Structure 1
Amino acid sequence: MKLLRYGPAGQERPGILDSEGRIRDLSAHVTDIAGTVLSDEGLARLAAIDPASLPLVEGTPRYGACVAGTGKFICIGLNYSDHAAETGATVPPEPIIFMKATSAIVGPNDNIEIPRNSLKTDWEVELGVVIGKHAKYVSEADALDHVAGYAVINDVSERAFQTERHGQWTKGKSADTFGPTGPWLVTRDEVADPQNLKLWLEVNGKRVQDGTTATMVYGVRYLVSYLSQFMSLHPGDIISTGTPPGVGMGMKPPTYLKAGDTIRLGIEGLGEQNQTVVQG
């Protein structure tokens, strides 16, 4: 299934894509794509509904973030060896973990705002993992049982805030609009292998990132298990799993976003995002 949330910001309604790629309204069955809806049982109830029996949503409404109620937005740094190399960093012996504020979450096609005093706002296409069932001290073998599904993430980053202002990376990752999520939550049964997905990103029509999750240093199973050793993972939590090479910081010379730029990105089978950059 491809689950989604549509409508004005703050007033999103739950929906599902039908076989023809049209939005069908789920409001009569669930209040939102969140909480117990993300459990195996909750997803099974939705899967039993014939999308053709649901009200068709007319027009082209705004997509909101595809999951609600996110308590934690956990990011993994330097998780592609070729991306680490382009930034001059070494592959870490354990995953680098940092947090992105949940207030950064926006819809997949909402504008990206360059923060005030920003000089180095950058892009990162990433595979997002959405937790569906409480996870604590889980094994790698059982890790995917705790995943509801997957989504496209743009881990927008302000590099000067991140690396030149001292302290942790969080302040360079958490500005409003720095977490476009969606367009859909694709349930895990539709993703045969999360370690075999192509992902890409274009800036102003030029392809700058073109990679595959096969080159992740630490895969999805490992990351869910690893994180669950340090903190409980709850339904709606998002793990953003790192980016392949091609970010602005790694270019020669480095290239960063400016107002008026357009970004298009996607992951095989998970949909696309389109954003316009504006000055915040």
Structure 2
Amino acid sequence: MMRHARVACFGSVHDAVEIDGRLKLTDGRVVKPADVVWLPPIQPETIFALGLNYADHAKEISFKAPNEPLVFLKGPNALVGHNGQSRRPVDATHMHYECELAVVISETARNISYDDAYDYVAGYTIANDYVIRDYLENYYRPNLAAKNRDDLTPIGPYFVDKDDISYPMQLGLRTYVNGELKQEGSTRDMVFDIPYLIEYLSSFMTLNESDVILTGTPKGTVHVYEGDEVVTEIEGIGALKNTIVGDSVFAR
């Protein structure tokens, strides 16, 4: 399996691949993972996020699974890399993690059929699509303040090629908070699977290379607080670590 990353070290940004627990930069240098700053492994033009795409999660927050995909957009400002920090505003009372499989589009396309959908997938990574539910709005307005805050969506550490994930609809998802398992599910429980989402989105808009689809989260989301270390893990892809910090870090 080839696992790709984007990192900062030696004063610049590098593409890298993981080899035997170390990172080989494109210029040939080899570094330890602890010696780099991890960046989002992809630079998307558009980020699509799915709401209520697991029926068990919809039920736990008192909703029914939708009859068609519930999709909203996120800006690239929301992304932060592995080992990064995400801010919990002082007035927040309901901040939840959301472990999600992130699907990366391979090329520009429109009107992709269900049967051809995987031909337009470049690969996969992990996203933790945090939500601050205090700021949730109704269905007629976007969830902008709840989901699009700066550095609120950790992603990475690695991008894994499509061919290295044989069964993307059968991957285990887990979330640990301070080392304790809090969330466990499988991509097989999605309401709308990956081909359906690609067919649906491309039916009315163009998908572009490196666009990302965040496919939703299973049940098991709980509150997180300042100082918590959250690890979201997906079978075959890796483990994404993030720390919750408070307003004081930002002098607020």
Asked if Structure 1 and Structure 2 have the same fold, meaning a TM-score greater than 0.5 normalized by the shorter chain, the answer is: yes
Counterparts of 1:243 and 1:132, CA distance in 2: 23
Q: Contact (CA 8 Å) 1:115, 1:175: kept in 2 or not? A: no
Unaligned runs of 5+ in 2: 248-252
Q: Secondary structure at the match of 1:7?
A: strand
Aligned CA RMSD, in angstroms, stands at: 1.8
Q: Secondary structure at the match of 2:170?
A: coil
Q: Contact (CA 8 Å) 1:150, 1:186: kept in 2 or not? A: yes
Q: Which residue of 2 aligns with 1:197?
A: 171
1:86 aligns with 2:87: no
Q: Which residue of 2 aligns with 1:13?
A: 14
Q: CA deviation at 1:194?
A: 0.8
1:264 aligns with 2:227: no
Q: Which residue of 2 aligns with 1:161?
A: 135
Counterparts of 1:98 and 1:270, CA distance in 2: 25
Counterparts of 2:98 and 2:230, CA distance in 1: 10
Q: CA deviation at 1:12?
A: 2.6
Give, as a single letter, the amino acid of the residue that structure 1 aligns with 2:99.
V
Q: Which residue of 2 aligns with 1:113?
A: 87
Counterparts of 1:11 and 1:246, CA distance in 2: 39
Q: 1:219 to 1:165 in 2, by over 3 A?
A: closer
Q: Considering fraction of residues, name the structure with more strand.
A: 2
Deviations 1:211-240 (A, max 9, x none): 000111111111111111121111111100
Counterparts of 2:46 and 2:142, CA distance in 1: 17
**Percent same amino acid at aligned positions?**
34
Q: CA deviation at 1:176?
A: 1.1
How many residues in Structure 1 have an aligned counterpart in Structure 2?
244
| 1:165-184 map, 5 Å | 167-184=141-158
1:65 aligns with 2:40: yes
Q: Which residue of 2 aligns with 1:278?
A: 245
Q: 1:262 to 1:59 in 2, by over 3 A?
A: closer
**TM-score scaled to structure 2, two decimals?**
0.91
Q: Secondary structure at the match of 2:188?
A: helix
